[in-house]
Amino acid sequence: MRAWWQRFVTAVQSVMFRLRRRGTQGSAGRHAGSVSSQSFGQQSEQLAERYLQRRGYTIMHRNYRVTQGEIDLVAQDGDTVVFVEVKARRNSSFGSPVLAVDARKQQRLTKAARHYLHRFHLGNRSCRFDVVSITQDASHDPNIELIQNAFELGES
Amino acid sequence: MTSLAAVEPDGFFEAEATVRGFRRIAGIDEAGRGPLAGPVVAAAVVLPRQKVFPGLKDSKCLSPSERNRLFAEISDQARDVSVGHADAEEIDEIGIVPATRKAMGRAVRGLSSPPDYLLIDAVPLPEMGIAHRAIVKGDLLSRSIAAASVIAKVTRDRLMAELHDRYPQYNFLAHKGYGTREHLTLLDQFGPCDVHRRCFRPISEMTFPRLDTPTQ
């Protein structure tokens, strides 16, 4: 017979972790309801994360945001720090989502990456930028593509 | 004026309420308002009239073993005990003070039958629609509130011990989410997890140095 406080503790934990909590957007709002009410972007980010884990990456940080930029995922691949941009599209006819990472976005990524490396004292590690591109045509499961070293750490 | 540390909680406010005709008096207190992580937990305790718990003081003045002993005794001997909580996500959404009041409301509603009078530590709760008295430093002055503070603190500590299993890197077992030097160092090293309160500094400065929320 479990003590009453044990039942409370278990109940609190099941409430906390029942919904996939706020790991994705970084907003403080509550996500009511089930996974299906998540936005397409959030689902894509989760999919990308799981894919990278299957590829052997260790996820270190989600949604790293600073004033000058933001990074969707920071991960570790062996000894390398990888800054991952997740690009999701519903329709493949506009070209691969990789092309959507334009110069301005690259700059923002670079700035955020420098901030991250400095903040977590990783300046001596090698790093690179990857892009995970997710294409979701309604008719089939999403295509996932990983482009490693999609661009070089810029000169900002 | 005697220092408040020397005062032990007694049944004065309970007796006063009894004289005024109230029959079910609940003491309410919370634990975990200050930490950077984890929920805030509130407890509501209805004590038997005249019952004295030897050694009962406010939870902060008790050793862990004394607290555990009193927790068992109060759970066993009280007429009614209930706990409520508000988790970190709620705290981020509405703020720590409203979240604490919500937790207290949940604790009261969890009692097996509704009390007719509340003795609350420091926080008035008019929205409950129950006659009550909010007493600053109530956990030092009222036996029922002191009992609630023990229940809340021990329950929360046990909850943090379980969260330690899920997030061992922060050592919640030792500091229960409070901002000790150890916790701050580990927080710096690993970044925050789902049970950290993002509206609390230093977490708000770590991940979201500007607090506006970008939309997708």
The string of pLDDT tens digits covering residues A86-136 is 988 777 666 665 666 788 888 899 999 998 888 777 778 889 999 998 887
The pLDDT assigned to B33 comes to: 94
Distance from CA of B4 to the nearest CA of A (A): 31
The pLDDT assigned to A96 comes to: 62
How far apart (Å, rounded) are the C-alpha atoms in residues A1 and B26? 26
Structure tokens at B205: 């400065």
Cβ atoms of residues A65 and B208 within 8 Å: yes
Q: What is the pLDDT of residues A39-89, one digit of tens each?
A: 777 788 888 988 998 898 888 888 888 788 889 998 888 888 999 999 887
Q: What is the pLDDT of residues B14-28, one digit of tens each?
A: 999 999 999 999 999
Contacts of B58 by beta carbon, 8 Å cutoff, 6+ apart = B9, B139, B140, B145, B146, B149
Q: Answer whether A15 sits within 8 Å of B158, measured CB to CB.
A: no
Residue ranges per domain, chain A? 40-151
Chain B residues with CB under 8 Å of A17 CB are: 194
What is the distance between the terminal CA atoms of chain B, rounded to a whole angstrom? 59
The pLDDT assigned to A128 comes to: 93
* SS3 at position B28: strand
What dotted CATH number matches A40-151? Answer: 3.40.1350.10
pLDDT exceeds 90 at position B166: no
Does any CB of chain A come closer than 8 Å to the CB of residue B73?
Answer: no
* DSSP annotation string for B183-213: HHHHHHHH---TTB-TTSTTHHHHH-SS---
Does any CB of chain B come closer than 8 Å to the CB of residue A18?
Answer: no
pLDDT exceeds 60 at position B211: no
* Reported CATH class of domain B7-165: alpha beta
**Bond into B202 cis (ω within 30):** yes
Residue A29, judged by CB atoms within 10 A of its CB (0-12, 13-18, 19+), counts as exposed
Chain B residues with CB under 8 Å of A28 CB are: 89, 92-93, 198-199, 213
The pLDDT assigned to B117 comes to: 96
Residue B80, judged by CB atoms within 10 A of its CB (0-12, 13-18, 19+), counts as middle
Q: Where is pLDDT greater, at B149 or A38?
A: B149
Does any CB of chain B come closer than 8 Å to the CB of residue A8?
Answer: yes
